[in-house]
Structure 1
């Protein structure tokens, strides 16, 4: 029996340039693929011990106890669990533009969110968020770097913010793109977790590891917070293929370096196209760029006519268009089309 072609089910169709979802199409790593093949025959068993091994590896790297590590079906599951758990205690304070899908999930279950406008430069307004912090807030949530802006909060500013927040509420930092920043070790708050602060750091295998469809993410926090999060997760035991791939590629520095190099090359191609089109973009420390355009939805529609998939407007931010770095040949299609589209829109 011929093996089925899974491409149409799980990837872009022939001729499609998929630059809308912040994926790494150069993954999973070869080491991860070998692990999946080896582990697939054991898919009839629950993955508990594999889950424990991955937690041990994460804990060892970050200098925490395995009991401080929570692994979920992507970081999405963990973030949703946190929204529910902390939403029962009080309000969630967050920016009005960030990856808020999990906060929206909490809101649909009755959680109250307080949204704070971005600063004039499109950065997260930490001062304004601090000013909104009161006894009714149980959780403060941000992404760093932020999505969809791609902007990184300076480490000193974020640490001062943590000093203001953690005596009053839990600080949740979604660090999904940390490994793509210029200095990942300087741009994380895991050290505050080690110091016993009321901080939750979330990470994922969906981005630099190229495992978006394999659904493995994790959080590092205090043991008390970890126990609370675990009580709100909706799955258990992990998925054998994803856990095996994560174990195999977690320390695969060669793959990670190659992936990061591809992202940086793609990002430079996008920024060059932005300049040639007479546009500007926000400084990005991620695998996507937020470009200021005349009309984000119009640019999205024009790109779609050329088989290039990018994001349209996010809510009221009609003049901002997010494009991801994908396969370099697909980024080249975007880069070639952007000046032509902008010239047409401005005609």
Structure 2
């Protein structure tokens, strides 16, 4: 029954994206997943649906988070207060800074948007050709300007190109590390050297949403440079390894003057909720859960890597909770639609990368569903 419902929903939604397939443009996320919505299902994916399109950690929330959320929800009539102070204190203590270096928001999307809006008023925002630019584009729609460096054939981010593109009218350079949608990480020493040099010309924002999933989180983070006084900002989230995407909690670590600037554009505590903050508090030091989550994500990634290789495809080397698969001559949006008919939901085209398809490292049965459907869909599209 679930399959029939999702197939009918898929066919209704196909018309929304048909034009984009022909033009090779990116499919808005809401349109791409709109066919998954069911009037009878309010929370999460329907039974039998393999949801592998948003890089969520389906092993969350943890048991501790669920208990904390239940307790906090009983006080849902009240705005957040002391819990926010305590979470900021925990984050500040871990990284050895004072609380005026920390800004919380609804996911890291909040602080990324606030900073982009603030910096777009000061000058241009510079980024690589391909990165998670959703929040930046929000600022651009308000009159800012985004400059991209040239596309790289191997999907890497050229730090040399970025540095050479920092003109006097650039106010901020934005980098995702690991990058989204590629999953690739930059060499830590090269990135640190770039940040130290580039931050003398513009603010450098490092989006570290997937840092905890990398092979060496401590080596890949740029938080040390923030502490050392460089004009570097790091954004983190509870949406990925912590398994709290739906609870909307994230944070930014920056020098106090940058924090003060960002807070001029933020909603403060009004963007946060009791249950989400309680879950973040309960999960932040739940290292057993974090270790388990990471192990399951890596197992899923291994399954995807094997499936891609065995079907004659290739993928970008991922250090995150998703993979960016090269479909060769096939169209990624058509591939997304065909996979949806198998109740497997992935992402479609990014910008003009028409043959690249992103798939998340979800629950193992869901990943297996992708693995099983992959050769069938490829055969059908190559027929």
Q: Tell me if both proteins adopt one fold, taking TM over 0.5 as the criterion.
A: yes
Alignment match, 1:302:
338
Alignment match, 2:381:
345
Distance 2:265 2:89 in 1: 22
Distance 1:62 1:163 in 2: 19
Counterpart contact for 1:97–1:117, Cα < 8 Å: no
Unaligned runs of 5+ in 2: 1-38
Counterpart contact for 1:7–1:13, Cα < 8 Å: no
**1:194 CA drift (Å):** 0.9
3-state SS of 1:186 partner: helix
Alignment match, 2:353:
317
Q: 1:25 to 1:97 in 2, by over 3 A?
A: same
Paired residues in the alignment total: 343
Structure 1 moving runs of 4+ over 3 Å: none
Alpha-carbon deviations, 1:134-159, whole Å to 9, x = none?
11011000100000000001101101
3-state SS of 2:174 partner: strand
* 1:115-264 alignment runs, 5 A limit: 115-237=148-270, 238-264=272-298
Counterpart contact for 1:145–1:286, Cα < 8 Å: yes
Alignment match, 1:329:
365
Counterpart contact for 2:300–2:361, Cα < 8 Å: yes
**1:346 CA drift (Å):** 2.3
* Alignment RMSD (CA, Å): 1.4
Counterpart contact for 2:45–2:51, Cα < 8 Å: yes
Distance 1:89 1:70 in 2: 20
Unaligned runs of 5+ in 1: 1-5
**1:18 CA drift (Å):** 0.2
3-state SS of 1:336 partner: helix
Distance 2:365 2:251 in 1: 32
3-state SS of 1:290 partner: strand
Alpha-carbon deviations, 1:214-242, whole Å to 9, x = none?
00000001011011111111352431110
Deviates further, 77-86 or 333-342: 333-342
Q: TM-score, normalised by structure 1?
A: 0.96
Alignment match, 1:3:
none
Distance 1:344 1:137 in 2: 47
Counterpart contact for 1:18–1:310, Cα < 8 Å: yes
Distance 1:170 1:91 in 2: 11
**1:118 CA drift (Å):** 3.5
Distance 2:151 2:284 in 1: 34
**1:7 CA drift (Å):** 8.2
Distance 1:213 1:57 in 2: 21
Distance 2:149 2:360 in 1: 26
Counterpart contact for 2:203–2:232, Cα < 8 Å: yes
Alpha-carbon deviations, 1:162-199, whole Å to 9, x = none?
12211111000000000000000000000001101111
Alignment match, 1:292:
326
Distance 2:162 2:360 in 1: 28
Structure 1 residue 88 and structure 2 residue 121: aligned?
A: yes
**1:115 CA drift (Å):** 1.0
Counterpart contact for 2:80–2:269, Cα < 8 Å: no
3-state SS of 1:259 partner: helix
Structure 1 residue 269 and structure 2 residue 291: aligned?
A: no
Deviates further, 210-219 or 8-17: 8-17
